[in-house]
Amino acid sequence: MKKIASILVISFLTIATSAQSLIPMKYGIKFGANISNIISTPNEGVKNIETSSQIGIAGGFYMEIALNDKWYINPELIYSQKGASFTYEYTHDYDPNQSDVHNTSNELKLAYVELNPTISYKATDKLALNFGPSVSFILTPDYTLTDKGQNDNYLLHLQSPAELPDGTYEEETIDVGVNLGISYYLTENFLIDSRVNTSLMKAGTVAKIKDIGIVNGMLINDPEINVYEIKNSVISFSIAYLF
């Protein structure tokens, strides 16, 4: 994936350099909000998570490079917050005929630096259609889990040798996706932008041990783990000003 990101960056710089002789470039800034969620794939035999959206901020630098009067390249370097809240349940069997039902609440906050070499087609003087790849580099993953038992056995079982460890999140360094959106020009230099971003690869993996295989204090088998591979899904709204 690092090779893919490098190829995209080099291709973008090559096109941008060759376009400079046509029409002068415009530089600008943009700022907006993300409504983000995740798409999850669980391991075999595990019920999938239930997700809810999370709101974050996005903002950074924006350029407009004209190839002709209809086609543009609009590269961006953006700080972007993504993630989601989600819940899932699992049953922990810790002794013969004894088990706990656990309900987990999870919050995943991801911060990225995002490079978007967007291709834009101006359908009219006011309206532009945008599409292109997106390469995001992870800055700070923040994952929290609250694990609650749903019966009295859980309270008695907390101090036992079979107490379960917390859940974990293992992030990928690079997230590659695709952008589709539209821009509306209020003036020549001021525009409103909206887009949908979907990951083409997994952004990370959430894992939670649900059974460490201890009966009467003895390890009798390998741990059983709930595993969820996730992808980012984001709807963005922003404003941009070109100088």
Mean pLDDT lowest among 45-59, 186-200, 211-225: 211-225
- Got the DSSP string for 169-233? EEE-SEEEEEEEEEEEESSSSEEEEEEEEEESS--EEEEEEEE--EETTEE-SPPEEEEEEEEEE
Which residues pair with residue 184 across a beta bridge? Answer: 127, 192
103: Cβ–Cβ under 8 A, 6 or more apart, which residues? Answer: 87, 89, 147, 148, 150
| 30 band by pLDDT with thresholds 50, 70 and 90 | very high
| 240 band by pLDDT with thresholds 50, 70 and 90 | very high
Closest Cα partner for 200 from 223, 233, 177? 177
> Are the C-beta atoms of residues 143 and 207 closer than 8 Å to each other?
no
Report whether pLDDT(76) > 80: yes
Mean pLDDT for the chain? Answer: 87
The pLDDT, as a whole number, for residue 137 is: 98
| Separation of alpha carbons 172 and 202, rounded Å | 7
The pLDDT, as a whole number, for residue 101 is: 86
The pLDDT, as a whole number, for residue 152 is: 47
The pLDDT, as a whole number, for residue 98 is: 75
| Separation of alpha carbons 65 and 59, rounded Å | 19
pTM reported for the whole predicted model = 0.84
Report whether pLDDT(34) > 90: yes
Domains held by the chain: number: 1
Which residues pair with residue 56 across a beta bridge? Answer: 34
Domain extent for 125: 2-242
> Are the C-beta atoms of residues 131 and 179 closer than 8 Å to each other?
yes
Question: What CATH number corresponds to the domain at position 226?
Answer: 2.40.160.20
Mean pLDDT lowest among 18-27, 36-45, 104-113, 192-201: 18-27
Report whether pLDDT(60) > 50: yes
Residue with token string 């821009």: 183
Estimate to the nearest angstrom the gap between the alpha carbon of 218 and the chain centroid: 40
Give per-residue pLDDT as tens, 36-54. 999 999 999 899 999 999 9
The rounded percent of the chain whose pLDDT value lies above 70 is: 81
Closest Cα partner for 136 from 205, 203, 182, 181? 203
Give per-residue pLDDT as tens, 84-143. 999 999 988 776 677 788 899 999 999 999 999 999 999 999 999 999 999 999 999 999
| Separation of alpha carbons 198 and 124, rounded Å | 26
